[in-house]
Structure 1
Amino acid sequence: MFAVCAVTLLCCMSASHSAPLACEDSVRPLDQLDPHRLEGRWALVGGSLSDPAQFEFFKRRDSSSINFSSTSATSNISYTPSVNMDGKCHFRSYNVSLEGSVLTFDVLDQINVTLTFLHTSCQDCTLIRFDNESKKPVRLLLFSRRREVDQKEMEEFNAQVECLNMPPPAVMDPTKVLCLEETTSDPAAQTEEKTDRQKA
């Protein structure tokens, strides 16, 4: 009887430890990211936000994408999120530096989040975690070269969202048109950026 109880206890302990370890592996940062892999446009597939009000605002967008372009032979990069909402396209460009798997913004006084690239099994995707000043995740966004991913890839994303204790993600409608590349500065983008913080 004692042996049975001992085995049962060990099994329970093993189960209790396996979930956190699985989550730790699931949302681990990339060791290194090649800046050239980032170049070009990535369509937002889905995302989750920890703040309920911002999440509701996030869900109003029709589509969204980010564009990366190298500004030199180093890891200096131009980062341009775009959002199609209420029939208008909003842009905001930043100069950023890639250090390992973390994007550092050049204008630190205007940005109070850190962007970290996480592992994903999706080969043509990029997964970005947005952390606030307290190093707590406030957004988890999945981007892809495609407009939508397959069921297995979405299930992985859902599990990663759950690991970060964030609400179930909103999934973008792949039939909605993405904004074309920005040609001029859009003042409306700056206004919306202040409202919704980090657009992407």
Structure 2
Amino acid sequence: MKTLCVAVVVLSLISVCQPAPLTCEKLLKPVDKELEVTGTWYMIAVATESCLTTTIMNALFELSAEIHINATDAPKVYSTEYNIKLYQYCITVTENFFYEKSAIFDVDVNNAPHGDAELVLQSGCPDCIVLLGDSFLNTTILFSRRKTVTAAELKEFEAQVECLGWSKPWVLQTDHEYKNCMSLDEFDGDGVADDLPDKILKRLKTTYTMPLMCLATDVSEYWKSILDSLVELW
């Protein structure tokens, strides 16, 4: 894939490479037909508009997730069951959604779509879904019917994220054993609190540099924006 690289040397910023505009137009194009969404999907990677949010989650949590989607009697309304694993603890969440063309909506008690839409983007991966959500925490998520994807498929998702101007995605864990893990519902708050912080701190000892690097980049970009504004005024 050809890329257009623009080196910006201001306040010791590192050069950034992003896909060319025409490539981005294709990568961020919504699907032109409805996909078959029923079945089991594995969450492969997540990116957020905030670099700091993504890196903090990655630094703190070992997380994996799968979803089971089934059609309902209501037209275009599907039920979902999320299985989420945080270290050795699991939790299940259920909800319904409305899917039409390239848009996914939450539904109200009458199964009517409401709120902002999540867009289903095109992907070169034959059994993947890429969701772009527009909310208070903008996110892009890569799902696949496989537990892992190829390096090329992950690279395409990273390119989609770059086109949005976001930082590198968080690649989730591939441990999808949910039947034998401990449910968070089986423990009281104190029981879980005694265990999870230890695991989080242990992980943080080797991952703490990620959010710090992101924070440094954000600070650099902040000062760069101030400098650019001063240059324009001058």
TM-score by length of 1: 0.69
Provide the residue aligned with 1:126 in structure 2. 129
> CA shift at 1:113, angstroms?
4.9
> CA shift at 1:112, angstroms?
5.9
Q: Percent identity?
A: 26
Distance 2:157 2:118 in 1: 17
Q: 1:115·1:130 contact (CA, 8 Å) conserved in 2? A: yes
Provide the residue aligned with 1:157 in structure 2. 157
User: Which runs of structure 1 show a deviation greater than 4 angstroms over 4 or more consecutive aligned residues?
Assistant: none
> CA shift at 1:92, angstroms?
1.9
1:143-184, Cα deviation, whole Å (9 max, x unpaired)? 11111111111111111110011110111232x23435xxx9
> CA shift at 1:187, angstroms?
10
- Unpaired runs of 5+ residues, structure 2, are 1-18, 188-234
Secondary structure at 1:155 match in 2: helix
Distance 2:118 2:81 in 1: 14
1:29-78, Cα deviation, whole Å (9 max, x unpaired)? 112214xx211111111111123454245421431122211012721101
- Unpaired runs of 5+ residues, structure 1, are 1-17, 189-200
TM-score by length of 2: 0.60
Provide the residue aligned with 1:167 in structure 2. 167
Provide the residue aligned with 1:105 in structure 2. 106
Secondary structure at 2:138 match in 1: strand
Provide the residue aligned with 1:143 in structure 2. 143
Counterparts in 2 of 1:165 and 1:81: CA distance versus 1, 3 Å: farther
Larger radius of gyration: 2
Distance 1:80 1:53 in 2: 28
Matched to 1:155, the amino acid is K
